[in-house]
Structure 1
Amino acid sequence: MKIDMQTGEPVIDAADLAGLLDLTPDEVRDRMRGGRITTRLETGADDDAGKMRLSFFHDDMRVRLTCSEDGTVLKTLRTRTGQR
């Protein structure tokens, strides 16, 4: 899996995110448009310079992708966080 960074903003394929959130790609699109899936982007500093962390939140699920500067996913973490 790779995050598209061509526009300077991270873009993930809906099918890739759907698999991580146990949804269909159409559900991902609809829930992102409706604000039910939210995101946070963090960029690395110091020892983590050149990396980014992209987090997706949906209901009680958090998916965190740690990526290189070019969008290559280095690590994936899925956790249940309790109802938001």
Structure 2
Amino acid sequence: MTKDAPGIERAGPDFSVDAGLLADSFGITQAQVQQEMRAGGITSRCEAGVDEDAGRWRLTFHRGERAVRFIVDDAGQVLTRVSFPIRTA
């Protein structure tokens, strides 16, 4: 990842998501992303694709009443990105 092109990298079973990518997705600063992740204000979930989706991963991040979801390949390349409202109650 570079500062010019924030993205997602994969190292074994783990993914590393650039704070700039999440900041852009949620409309906040990178510092806010880092602070909120440490405090539990942004949470994440990683799911492996099965059957026809094998080799793809779904990375979902929740913040308040919004979520952003990335579908990535084995190398971490973003195939799709979507942001949507969620219920918190």
TM-score (norm 2): 0.88
> Which residue in the other structure is 2:77 paired with?
72
Q: Identity of aligned pairs, percent? A: 32
Q: Distance in 2 between matches of 1:83 and 1:48?
A: 28
2:33 pairs with 1:28 = yes
Written as runs of structure 1 = structure 2, the 5 A alignment for 1:1-84 is 2-83=7-88
Pair 68,76 (structure 1): closer, same or farther in 2 beyond 3 Å: same
Q: Distance in 2 between matches of 1:15 and 1:72?
A: 15
- 1:50 deviates by 0.3
4+ aligned runs moved over 4 Å, structure 1: none
Structure 1 unpaired stretches of 5+: none
Q: Distance in 2 between matches of 1:36 and 1:3?
A: 20
Structure number with the higher strand fraction is: 2
Q: Distance in 2 between matches of 1:62 and 1:31?
A: 14
Q: Structure with the greater relative contact order (CA < 8 A, sep ≥ 6): 1 or 2?
A: 1
- 1:80 deviates by 1.2
- 1:7 deviates by 4.8
Give the secondary structure class of the aligned counterpart of 1:5.
strand
Contact map agreement 2:7 2:21 (CA 8 A) in 1: no
